Amino acid sequence: MKGPTVKRTTTAALTALLLLLPTAASAAPRATWVGAWATSPTTVPASDTTSFEDQTLRQVVHLGVGGSTVRVRLSNEFGTTPLVVGEARVARRSGAGSAIEPGSDRRLTFGGRPSATLPPGTPLLSDPVALSVAADSDLVISIHLPHRTPGNTVHAFPYQDGWVAAGNVTGRADITPTAVLGKWHFLTGVSVTGGKRASTVVAFGDSITDGAETTRGANRRWPDVLARRFQADRGLRHLGVVNEGISGNRLLHDPNPPAGHPAEGYAAYFGQAALRRFDRDVLAQPGVGHVVVLLGVNDLGHPGTSAPLSEKVTAQDIIGAHRQLIARAHAAGLRIHGGTITPFRDDTFGFFSPENEAARQAVNRWIRTSGEYDGVIDFDRAVRDPRQPDRLLAAYDSGDHLHPNDAGMAAMAAAVPLRLFR
């Protein structure tokens, strides 16, 4: 009798205990993170000797989607020494300058600690912090760098001013700048908590996606305008848009300026080739569900201008690179949409030639007709001059005949079919 009684008692106790334990269905759900802002880091040319010591960097970013909890991503990807962050804080911006909104300031922690050290080559995510932020609003991130720190992990062309101030003034409502900060340093992402359907759309491109020649500080890049279109649509407000464009970026080649060429002073800012950076800048984004690709013009234009002629590519080379992006996106379960390359006749950079125009047309024809992308966004049709389809419409031309102006960016965003994201 004793053996069976013990067995029955033990079984009953275990059953009762299991009923008390949380199940997968009853456990508290994990927060769904969505990208509210991001940028792609690059290294710097040898001529860029920027460094910081016992200074605060106050940097401004614009959010495409709102949420109730925030986390910040820092990076020392291109550093050669450890990056020591003495203190970092986040706050809503007040007005157009460096001031923050009273009561919104929050200290960032990293594994519960108020400071952090990033080894060379690594990113760092902050702990989540409770802070309500709105879509289409500015966030201020302040970072104190107590030790001498070379500024060699950057995004060089933010089209947004930041500021540098002496000492640790991360918690000040406003600061007295000692200099304007013309690049984003060590800062690569902001994510927020969203609802069950929250998802991130990555805009993956070059200077046209980066926002070249748009009004500084006005957030009129086509991904910014697309984010506002999402917010205006009740069925798409759960989507965040992050801008992973890099001015000068190519699909197939890293920067490689010829010896003695002026490009040695700036080509490093063009970033690693899209095929190399895709995992970091697309697949690693929080909540990523879609990617929009607009790349190829620099692959055509750089050889012979800021890169060796030996790196000249064909339309088939560019198509092959696009196919690789499609395969990698699909392997990760993402939907990927192809943007047609916009026109550039008479551009001031020396990109245009009949041969390059023929290659552009061939790539665009493949994007439109092959069916290999999940969706097609015809940026070319949106901004070209209908009477001279190989050039930008004058009303959309920033003046260099390659980069659309603010109106052109709005036209590009308007050309994105929202049905692709429903």
E strand intervals along 229-361: 239-245, 288-294, 335-339
Q: Which helix (H) or strand (E) holds 74?
A: strand 67-75
Question: What is the rounded distance in angstroms from the CA atom of residue 349 to the CA atom of residue 353?
Answer: 11
**Cα–chain center distance at 403:** 19
SS3 399: coil
Q: Which of 280, 294, 230, 290 is nearest to 64 (CA)?
A: 230
pLDDT at 194: 83
pLDDT at 29: 56
pLDDT at 10: 41
In sequence order, what DSSP letters do the residues of 120-152 get, joined into one string?
A: TT-EEEPPPEEEEE-TTEEEEEEEEE-S-EE--
Task: Kindly give the confidence (pLDDT) of every residue in the chain, 422 residues in length, as a single tens digit, with 9 standing for 90 and above.
Answer: 344 443 443 444 434 433 334 443 334 456 799 999 999 999 999 999 999 999 999 999 999 999 999 999 999 999 999 999 999 999 999 988 999 999 999 999 999 999 999 999 999 999 999 999 999 999 999 999 999 999 999 999 999 999 999 999 999 999 999 999 999 999 999 999 988 889 999 999 999 999 999 999 999 999 999 999 999 999 999 999 999 999 999 999 999 999 999 999 999 999 999 999 999 999 999 999 999 999 999 999 999 999 999 999 999 999 999 999 999 999 999 999 999 999 999 999 999 999 999 999 999 999 999 999 999 999 999 999 999 999 999 999 999 999 999 999 999 999 999 999 99
Tell me whether strands 129-133 and 83-85 are parallel, antiparallel or unpaired: unpaired
Question: What is the rounded distance in angstroms from the CA atom of residue 57 to the CA atom of residue 180?
Answer: 10
Beta bridge partners of 269: none
Cα dihedral 239→241→242→247 (10° resolution): 160
Residue 371: how many other CB atoms lie within 10 Å: 8
pLDDT at 31: 73
**Cα–chain center distance at 281:** 7
Do 284 and 277 contact (CB within 8 A), yes or no? no
pTM of this prediction?
Answer: 0.92
Q: Which of 288, 208, 217, 276 is nearest to 245 (CA)?
A: 208
Give me 227's structure tokens. Answer: 């984010």
Residue 189: how many other CB atoms lie within 10 Å: 25
Do 296 and 341 contact (CB within 8 A), yes or no? yes
Do 28 and 139 contact (CB within 8 A), yes or no? no
Tell me whether strands 162-166 and 179-181 are parallel, antiparallel or unpaired: antiparallel
pLDDT at 196: 82
Q: Which of 155, 191, 189 is nearest to 35 (CA)?
A: 191
E strand intervals along 273-354: 288-294, 335-339
